[in-house]
């Protein structure tokens, strides 16, 4: 399945997974990865950085362009997926395993779509 049912989706093509402790994982969707083409570098934030709703927290560079990755929540970045430093192509190869950050202490969250709504959104 291109857009897993257990995730929520933003209009700027990030996915969000809710974890049991109230924190969330954030990554980019298969659609975003496909639009970008092969990602060759990810400019990652650092742990303890703040994530702000609607603001960029990381950048993914492909040959074609640089794309900002927008946080759908406000909170504190508690863990950064360091694997992406050496293997940025994980964003293309397995976008739903390749979470970028884990955000804790989530204080606000934008309205997100479920898989069916997101699939309809990208089909427009």
Interacting residues toward other proteins by CB under 8 A: 37-38, 40-41, 43, 59, 61-64, 66, 85
Strands 14-18 and 50-51: unpaired
Cβ proximity to other proteins, 17 vs 35, nearer residue:
35
Of the pair 20, 48, the CB lying nearest other proteins is at: 48
Min. distance of Cβ 75 from other proteins in angstroms? 21
The closest of 63, 59, 71, 58 to 10, measured between CA atoms, is 71
Residue corresponding to tokens 């257990």: 6
Min dist CB 43 to other proteins, Å, is 7
How many CB atoms within 10 Å of residue 72? Answer: 24
Please identify, using beta-carbon distances, which residue of 18 and 61 lies nearer to other proteins: 61
Q: What is the smallest separation between the CB atom of 6 and other proteins, expressed in angstroms?
A: 29
Helix (H, G, I), strand (E, B) or coil at 84: helix
């Amino acid at each position: 399945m291109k857009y897993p049912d257990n995730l929520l989706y933003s209009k700027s093509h990030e996915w969000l997974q809710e974890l049991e402790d109230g924190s969330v994982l954030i990554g980019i969707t298969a659609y975003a990865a496909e639009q970008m083409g092969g990602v060759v570098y990810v400019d990652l934030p650092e742990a303890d950085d703040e994530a702000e709703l609607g603001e960029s927290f990381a950048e993914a560079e492909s040959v074609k362009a640089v794309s900002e990755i927008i946080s759908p929540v406000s909170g504190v970045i508690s863990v950064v997926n360091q694997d992406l430093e050496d293997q940025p192509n994980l964003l293309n190869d397995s976008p739903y395993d390749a979470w970028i950050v884990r955000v804790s202490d989530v204080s606000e969250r934008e309205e997100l779509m479920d898989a069916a709504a997101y699939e309809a959104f990208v089909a427009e």
